[in-house]
Structure 1
Amino acid sequence: MTEQELAGPGLRTFFRISEKWQMSVVQQGSLLGCPDQGTLDSWRRGDCAHLHRDVLIRISYVLGIYKALHTIFPNELQADGWMRRPNSAPLFAGRSAIDLVAEEGVEGLAAVRKYLDAQLD
């Protein structure tokens, strides 16, 4: 599949995960690097003909984080809830993972993914 063929399924999966993580619309837009509410609404409706590669990379991080959480935690509610709970690990400095990634964008996504991957080792 080409990157653009992955765009639709990737966005649909992202929005399903964002519901499980109880993300606000602002957090969704921030995670996707979305410039405005209209574009985000368009993506939610499935109009993703020209999705930028950066958005696909961000979606890939979200999918990896989701998978890692569901590998680490056997309980679905615990796995999905982890993103919203404050975390005392130095990376998070008391923030939740969702706040960290919403504030730091792709760098935050990469850091959380790396943190979780280290937990799996």
Structure 2
Amino acid sequence: MPALAQTVSILPERQDFSSEADRARLSKTALKAYKRLVGQWGLTGLQAAALLDVSTSTWERLKQDGKDKALSQDQLTRISALVGIYKGLHLLFADDMADRWPRLDNRGPLFGRLSPIDSMVKGGIPQMLDVRRYVDAVRGGL
């Protein structure tokens, strides 16, 4: 049993965004990355707000002065999933296609004939994680 305890103790701790200190530390960088992703994907303010699950007025405030605001665990999870999708798409496609793909209608069963963006707005975090797994699988990451 001692060998097992040693093995478990050397595994890296998984980031879960539950700690207020971690959220405060990560929020500025996460928000900066999300704002860049919104621009690269050409999202409307309504889409950007919906993906983050905030009102459009809250999204506008976050864009302007959200640097000092700690995002919620839910918001950080959403941004993490979306940044993972962004990165996976840029490994899979040329930049132009990688940035257009999230807005294109998709006939795949995961998307229900919606664009990945619309499917993630509709399906929330579970759909975002499914889309991330899908992109990773397509590029051979799973």
Query: TM-score, length-normalised on structure 1?
Result: 0.90
Structure 2 counterpart of 1:114: 133
Choose from 55, 60, 78 the match for 2:97. 78
Q: Is the 8 A contact 1:4 1:50 kept in 2?
A: yes
Listed as ranges, the gaps of 5+ residues in structure 2 are 1-20
Matched residue of 1:51: which SS? coil
> Helix, strand or coil: the match of 1:20?
helix
Matches within 5 A, 1:1-121: 2-34=22-54, 36-47=55-66, 48-73=68-93, 75-121=94-140
Specify the structure having the higher radius of gyration (Cα): 2
What is the total number of aligned residue pairs between the two structures?
Answer: 119
What letter corresponds to residue 33 of structure 2 in structure 1?
Answer: T
What's the secondary structure of 1:46's corresponding residue? helix
Indicate conservation of the 8 Å contact 2:82/2:128, yes or no.
yes
The Cα of 1:55 is off from its aligned counterpart by 0.4
Report the RMSD for the aligned CA atoms in angstroms: 1.5
- Answer 1 or 2: higher relative contact order, Cα 8 Å, separation at least 6: 1
Q: What is the aligned-residue identity percentage?
A: 32
